[in-house]
Amino acid sequence: MAVPSDKFYEAEIIERRDFSHDLWAVRIRPGGELKFAPGQYATFGVVEDNKVIERPYSIVSSPYEDTLEFFFELVPEGELTPRLHKLKSGERLVMRKVAKGRFTLDTQSGHKNHFLVATVTGLAPYVSMVRTAQRDWKEGKFPAQHHLYILQGASRSWELGYREEMEGHAKEVPWLTYIPTISRPWEDKEWKGEVGRCEDILRKYSDQFGLAPGNTTAYLCGHPEMIEKAKGILQRRGFLKESLREEQYWVQK
Ligand SMILES: Cc1cc2nc3c(=O)[nH]c(=O)nc-3n(C[C@H](O)[C@H](O)[C@H](O)COP(=O)(O)OP(=O)(O)OC[C@H]3O[C@@H](n4cnc5c(N)ncnc54)[C@H](O)[C@@H]3O)c2cc1C
């Protein structure tokens, strides 16, 4: 099948990093310019039997970087991820030329606090936001008094991809707080950090940091069940629809 070149780039995987047996990251040379804002997603996949099998993926990298980075979770019964999981450096993909999405940082409401909640790969858009803010901050362009509070949940600590990077940024800059949490501590005896699902500890941190409806925009990304529950908790805390942003990665059966 000739993939229409007005719609797709021929992209190349140039690096791969595995976090666990079912979580990995790749760096991709898109094969042309892909304009995007931190928080947006790209759509790509593989060509097989004359059809494109494609899915949306949040972009991990910052627009300041030359290549794109993505963070995947293998869905064993899925159509695309088992195919992506086999791909190594040097192999090719087809990528739509346009990035999309509205899951970007709120710069309109005047809220100075950003409460960013993610399950596992749902951290991807926040990594892009942090990498971008990091560079802006070094150049004196990061808006004063804004603070990003990131809560990332996983079952076990080795599923917290990008934890080290986030902890590194949080040590370096005054505007970032990063809280990793695991929900199955009995399977991860060495873990000394926070425990519980994101939605279990959300309220505690929103109270502790004073993340209130009048000063905070909340972002929920990843697992549909987390989003549903977290949204309910935040709404009962007084958050209005316009202060809640969500990026649901799949639909619960
Ligand atoms: C805007 C957006 C951004 C996304 N960004 C990312 C990202 O950065 N990283 C990433 O890994 N995924 C991301 N996803 C999910 C991604 O698009 C695919 O849905 C996912 O990779 C599964 O694709 P698949 O073809 O293997 O499975 P499919 O054949 O599409 O799905 C098979 C079944 O598994 C369910 N399912 C899909 N994903 C999961 C999952 N993770 N866990 C459990 N069940 C699941 C589906 O609902 C379906 O029932 C994003 C989705 C959206 C909408």
Q: Is a pLDDT exceeding 80 seen at residue 2?
A: no
Q: Is the CB of 78 under 6 A from ligand 1?
A: yes
Q: What is residue 143's predicted lDDT score, i.e. its pLDDT?
A: 85
Residue 80 in contact with ligand 1 by CB distance below 6 A:
yes
Q: Whose CA is nearest to atom 21 of ligand 1?
A: 81
Domains and CATH numbers, the chain: 8-96 (2.40.30.10), 113-248 (3.40.50.80)
62 alpha carbon – ligand 1 mean position (Å)? 22
pLDDT in tens, 80-135: 999 999 999 999 999 999 999 999 999 999 999 999 999 999 999 999 999 999 99
Per-residue model confidence (pLDDT) at position 221: 98
The Cα 131–Cα 165 span in angstroms is: 10
- Which pLDDT does position 3 carry in this prediction? 87
**206-250 pLDDT tens trace:** 999 999 999 999 999 999 999 999 999 999 999 999 999 999 999
Torsion angles phi and psi, residue 202, rounded to 5: -55, -50
Tell me the sheet residues that pair with 57.
42
pTM, two decimals, is 0.98
Residues 188/85, Cβ–Cβ less than 8 Å: no
Kind of pairing between the strands at 23-29 and 194-195: unpaired
- Ligand 1 centroid to Cα of residue 222, in Å, is 9
